[in-house]
Amino acid sequence: MAFSAKGFGLYFPYSLFSIGMCANNPSSNMGYSITPFMISCILFVIIFSKIGILKINNR
């Protein structure tokens, strides 16, 4: 939440949910444009999926 308040919410996966749901101010628009938000979401899904697949393959 602190990273989201400081403007670094796109770079931390736990902040993306509160940004996407406009949790801090539901009556306003999202603080970021849709393109960087979607790119960040897709990158985190790819990164953590890759980490999970590598961990499963190593066992």
Q: What is the pLDDT of residue 52?
A: 96
Write the pLDDT tens digit of every residue in 1-59: 666 667 777 777 877 777 777 666 666 666 678 888 889 889 999 999 999 999 999 98
Any residues with CB less than 8 A from the CB of 36 and at least 6 apart, and which? 10
What token pair was written down for 42?
Answer: 């897709």
Number of domains in the chain: 1
Any residues with CB less than 8 A from the CB of 55 and at least 6 apart, and which? none
Give the structural domain span for 28. Answer: 2-58
pTM over 0.85: no
